[in-house]
Copies of this chain bind each other. A is one copy, B any other.
Amino acid sequence: MAQCAITCYRRPVARWDPGAEERLKRAALELYLERGYDNVTVTHIAERAGLTRRSYFRYFPDKREVLFAGSERLPPALAEAVRAADPDAAPLAAVLDALARVGAELVEQVDGATERRAVIDASPELQERERTKTAAITAAIRDALKQRQVNAETAELVAQLATVAFQNAFRHWIEAEGRASFGSCLHTVTDELRTALAGT
- Chain A contact residues, CB within 8 Å of chain B: 90-93, 96, 124, 127-129, 131-132, 135, 153-154, 156-158, 160-161, 164, 168, 189-190, 192-194, 196-200
Contact B189 A194 (CB under 8 A): no
Q: Is the interface of A mostly helix, strand, loop or mixed?
A: helix
Question: Within the complex, what minimum Cβ distance (angstroms) separates A95 from chain B?
Answer: 10
User: Which residues of chain B are within 8 angstroms of A156 by Cβ–Cβ distance?
Assistant: 168
User: Which residues of chain B are within 8 angstroms of A200 by Cβ–Cβ distance?
Assistant: 90, 92-93, 96, 190, 194
Cα A176 to Cα B154 in complex, Å, equals 17
Cα A160 to Cα B192 in complex, Å, equals 12
Task: List the 4 closest pairs (A to B, CB-CB), nearest first.
Answer: A131-B131, A93-B200, A160-B164, A92-B200
Select one of B127, B132, B157 contacting A193, CB under 8 A. B157
| A134 nearest CB neighbor, chain B only | B131
Which of A190, A193, A200 counts the most chain B CB atoms within 10 A? A200
Given A128-B128, A128-B131, A131-B135, are A196 and B96 also a contact pair (CB < 8 Å)? no
User: Which residues of chain B are within 8 angstroms of A96 by Cβ–Cβ distance?
Assistant: 200
User: Which residues of chain B are within 8 angstroms of A93 by Cβ–Cβ distance?
Assistant: 200
Question: Within the complex, what minimum Cβ distance (angstroms) separates A148 from chain B?
Answer: 14
User: Which residues of chain B are within 8 angstroms of A92 by Cβ–Cβ distance?
Assistant: 196-197, 199-200
Question: Within the complex, what minimum Cβ distance (angstroms) separates A72 from chain B?
Answer: 14
Cα A128 to Cα B90 in complex, Å, equals 31
Question: Within the complex, what minimum Cβ distance (angstroms) separates A152 from chain B?
Answer: 12
Question: Within the complex, what minimum Cβ distance (angstroms) separates A23 from chain B?
Answer: 28
Question: Within the complex, what minimum Cβ distance (angstroms) separates A160 from chain B?
Answer: 5
Given A128-B131, A132-B131, are A168 and B164 also a contact pair (CB < 8 Å)? no
Question: Within the complex, what minimum Cβ distance (angstroms) separates A150 from chain B?
Answer: 10
Contact B129 A192 (CB under 8 A): no
Cα A153 to Cα B192 in complex, Å, equals 9
Question: Within the complex, what minimum Cβ distance (angstroms) separates A4 from chain B?
Answer: 32
